[in-house]
Structure 1
Amino acid sequence: MKLLVTLLTSGSLLLSGCLMSREARVESDYSYAGQFRHYRTYEFISGDGINSDSSRLGEAVRDAIRTRMKIQGYRPTRRRPDLLVNFRLFEGDMRFRGYSQDDFTKWVQNGNTEDEDTPKDARKGYQPVRLLLSEGTLLVTLIDNRTNRAVWNGYASGVSVPSGPQGEIVLRRSVRSIFDQYHVFTAGYLQGNNAAEEGN
């Protein structure tokens, strides 16, 4: 009996690994106008599809996003959040327009940003790249609530979601992979300033 349980457990882990190996592509793109050093709070957008899904799959995605946002110092709030979080799961193959850009982490670390005062000859400009994302795509978008413009997209392709608990595992891992592309901590969070602010 113990051998059967071990075999079933090993088979389940192997299946989980196979499902995740289908995530052939995890990428992101960003807006040069994003004020990434100033965002501290967020709220989810309610809408159609999985975004408003109160099932275990929809909640698994929201919970995984909440966990990553908390780790990086962001606080949830319903009152004038800095960022609105939107996510969507697309089935099958999908044509998607991304952008060829400088490394996002370096862009933020250097304190770069563009606005209406940035001279035209100093602007980076966007170089579109057409992508074919296969076998299902989970897309997470962060929107600047003040300007109502998307400032960051993260997406994982090859996300095939089986039914049951295995589907929750696939979605949680996909969210983690996506947020590995978003290396932004809120200002002062790593020095413990957020804890002090919350205590006031």
Structure 2
Amino acid sequence: MKLSVTLWLSLALALSGCFASREARIESDYSYSGNFRRYRTYEFVTGSGLSADTSKVGEITRDAIRTRMKIQGYRAARNRPDLLVIFRLFEGDMAFRGYEQDDITRWVNNGQVEDEDTPKEERKGYQPVRMILAEGTLLITLVDNRTNRAVWNGYASGVTVPPGPQGEVVIRRSVRSIFDQYRVFTEGYLNGTEGQGTQN
């Protein structure tokens, strides 16, 4: 049985995308002060850098993030969004400080939020981990718009974005892998009761 040229090219691109991202390191960390149960809406930060980039790479990255946020129940909102989304693509190796933490899903399910009223002896504390991220790091940060503090970082390193259709495959796969670390759905979204008895 002969494969069509289109099918063969699609298969080749998919496999080469797998090889390009095979060495990627996917990590994330979060703030204990993040009120993750409250977040419902988001908007991208405007300004300079990739977040405001109108190039193909910037557009593909934004679209991939929008898709994932929608899947997890978040709505885009220009007026007073709960979360601000920042992303940036770094070139070259870089030193990065992450944190050794429990899975974010466990933290959110326990309903814990630390604030200035949390007694010092009850605070979780951060265990810093120093990492060297390989060339080609995509960093996505979620910022609490009310406190103006970063509440979650997700990053994929060692991902090379080639030109053309293969580059789009690599970007979308990287964004998907990063958000696999952020398994937080808006409250009530999974059981169809989102917004019932809650206020934004």
Aligned counterpart, 2:21:
20
- The alignment covers a number of residue pairs equal to 196
Task: Give the structure with the higher percent helix.
Answer: 1
Residues 1:146 and 2:146 are matched in the alignment: yes
Q: In 2, distance between residues paired with 1:103 and 1:13?
A: 30
Tell me, in whole angstroms, the C-alpha distance in 2 between the residues paired with 1:9 and 1:74: 31
Query: How far apart are the structure 2 equivalents of 1:2 and 1:38?
Result: 50
Counterpart for residue 101 of structure 2:
101
Judge conservation of contact 1:39–1:186 (CA < 8 Å) in 2: yes
Quick one: distance in 2 between partners of 1:64 and 1:7? Answer: 25
1:43 to 1:10, Cα distance in 2 relative to 1, 3 A: closer
Deviation at 1:194, TM superposition (A): 3.5
Give the match for residue 174 of structure 2. Answer: 174
**Percent identity between the aligned chains?**
66
Q: After the TM superposition, which residues 24-173 of structure 1 pair with which residues of structure 2 at under 5 Å, given as runs?
A: 25-173=25-173
Q: CA RMSD in A?
A: 1.9
- Letter matched to residue 123 of structure 2: R
- TM-score normalised by structure 2 residue count: 0.91
CA-CA distance at 1:76 after TM superposition: 0.5
Question: Is residue 87–residue 141 contact of structure 1 (8 Å, CA) maintained in 2?
Answer: yes
- 1:57-79 Cα offsets, whole Å, 9 max, x none, are 11111111111111111111011
The corresponding residue for 2:191 is 191
**Residues of 1 paired with 2:135 and 2:193: CA distance?**
42
Structure 1 position 47, deviation (Å) = 2.5
With normalisation by structure 1, the TM-score equals 0.91
Q: Distance in 2 between matches of 1:190 and 1:161?
A: 33
Unaligned ranges ≥5, structure 1 = none
Change (3 A) 1:175 1:4: closer
**Residue by residue, what CA displacement relative to the aligned partner does 1:112-170 show, whole Å, maximum 9, x if unpaired?**
11011100000011111100010210000000000000000000011111111211111
- Going from structure 1 to structure 2, the CA distance change for 1:186 and 1:10 (only over 3 Å counts) comes to closer
Measured in 2, the distance between the counterparts of 1:62 and 1:37 equals 23
Say whether the 8 Å CA contact 2:14–2:169 is kept in structure 1.
Answer: no
User: Unaligned stretches of 5+ in structure 2?
Assistant: none
**Cα shift at 1:51:** 1.2
Q: Residue 53 of structure 1: CA displacement?
A: 1.1
Contact kept, 8 Å, 1:27 with 1:154, in 2: the verdict is yes
